[in-house]
Structures are given as C-alpha cells and as structure tokens.
Structure 1
C-alpha cells in the first residue's frame, strides 16, 4: 500500500503518553478482547482526562477504533 493511501496518522506525531496508551490497548487486544476504559485506566495509572484525550486523538487518526465493548487496534500491517 502506498503511504499516501494509508488512512492512519503518522506514528511520529504521537506523544510518549499516547504511545503508551496505544501499547496498553494493543496488549489487551492481543488477548482477543477490546480494552475498556476502566482496564486502560487501571493499567496506566494516569489522570482520567489525559487518558480520554489520548484515546480521542488515537481514534481520530485511526490508530484505534472505539467499539461498544471498548477500544481495539485500527488498521496495522504487522500481522499480515
């Protein structure tokens, strides 16, 4: 896939905190389940407003998807 066709935002635009939130969701998603906010909050031990901001940004740039059960990874190519 051409980089211009990739709907995800550039990982370099993420803060260290956003990367940590993404990695936390990825750890839970590897287990085959969506990461609910309470699990993310418990694992991250970070202020709620910071978590909501990071999750919102990650969803807006298509790195995560919000589902009724929680957050899951957006499109990625490492398991192809």
Structure 2
C-alpha cells in the first residue's frame, strides 16, 4: 500500500510529550535533517523509555517515519 494514503492518527490523541517530540522532529526535518534518537533525546526533556514510546507511537500512527538516518515527518498537509 502506498504510504501516502495511510491514514494518520488524529493529533488530538497525542499526549503533550508526544507533541513535543513531534515538533522537535519537525523542526529538524524542516532543515532537511533526520532526527536521530540521541539528538531528539538531547533536545527533549524526558526519560529514555518515554521517548522510545512516543517515537514508536508517532510512527505507528503515521506522523513520523523511521529511516536508517533517524526520524522524519510522515505525510502532512502544511508547508515546511
């Protein structure tokens, strides 16, 4: 299935911490960089297990994609 057409989860179902993680990845992606775990961890204040859980959830609902370089935005309808 073409990932552009996979339904994204509703932003309202995200926790405050997940929103912070998403916004951090989006900020790095805006500059064309993938956000590796260490960079996100350094920029986001939270326990490592919470960060893994947030990233996993964001990937599972198609807000982020995991690549060999790190995390990047999934499909979105706003300009960079």
User: Do the two structures share a fold, i.e. TM-score over 0.5?
Assistant: yes
Q: Say whether the 8 Å CA contact 2:6–2:62 is kept in structure 1.
A: no
Q: CA RMSD in A?
A: 1.5
Q: Does 1:17 align with 2:17?
A: yes
Shift of 1:31: 1.0
Work out the number of aligned pairs and report it.
76
Structure 1 runs of 4+ with >3 Å offset: none
Q: Which has the larger radius of gyration?
A: 1
Q: Which residues of structure 2 form unaligned runs of 5+?
A: none
Q: Structure 1-normalised TM-score?
A: 0.90
Q: Structure 2-normalised TM-score?
A: 0.90
Q: Does 1:62 align with 2:57?
A: no
